Amino acid sequence: MDYIKIRFGDDFDRLEYRLETVFRSMGPVFFLSERTWMPQMDMYDTPEEIVIRAEIPGVDKTNLEVELSSNALRISGIRRELPCTENTTYRLAEIQYGAFERILYLPSPVAREKVSATLINGFLEIRLVKLPKDVAHRVHISEE
């Protein structure tokens, strides 16, 4: 069984990640030398878990990375362009290739040790188990 790489870290809150995300959302003006695309995604939650689905046909699992921080999930990868035959003239070119990156902020804390990811028929599905709601804990006050 092959596995999708999942890395854990807390570096999504760094300023450079925020700035890069803002500039990427502004379009190709800031990234003319790099072709990027943004896959469609769904995120929903149940009382027990958060589920994220990404539509990424043509992305090989070896070119896919999932990272989880304390409050966000980063999905990135590369879709390689298919080779063309010689003497080809494009009449229509809508399929996007190149690198992509999405950072999704999670609606609640999740258990890092209970994350699963599957890639089936061009859909990446990530399941994150929610942590239980905080339960009040009474602190004992000692006498000096």
- With a CB cutoff of 8 Å and minimum separation 6, the contacts of 118 are 4, 124, 125
Of 43-52, 90-99, 117-126, which range is least confident?
90-99
34 pLDDT exceeds 60? Answer: no
Q: What are the Cα distances from residue 25, in Å, to 20, 78, 102?
A: 9, 18, 10
Counting residues of the chain whose pLDDT is more than 70, the rounded percentage is 74
Domains of the chain plus CATH, in order, are 5-25+36-81+97-130 (2.60.40.790)
pTM of the model: 0.69
Position 31 confidence tier, pLDDT thresholds 50, 70, 90: very low
d(CA 128, CA 134): 18
d(CA 25, CA 100): 12
For the segment 56-109, what is each residue's pLDDT rounded down to a tens digit? 999 999 999 999 998 899 999 999 988 888 888 888 888 899 999 999 999 999
Position 39 confidence tier, pLDDT thresholds 50, 70, 90: very high
Q: What is the pLDDT of residue 93?
A: 84
Q: What is the pLDDT of residue 12?
A: 57
Q: What is the pLDDT of residue 5?
A: 66
H helix or E strand, kind and range, residue 124? strand 123-130
Average pLDDT score over the chain: 83
Position 143 confidence tier, pLDDT thresholds 50, 70, 90: confident
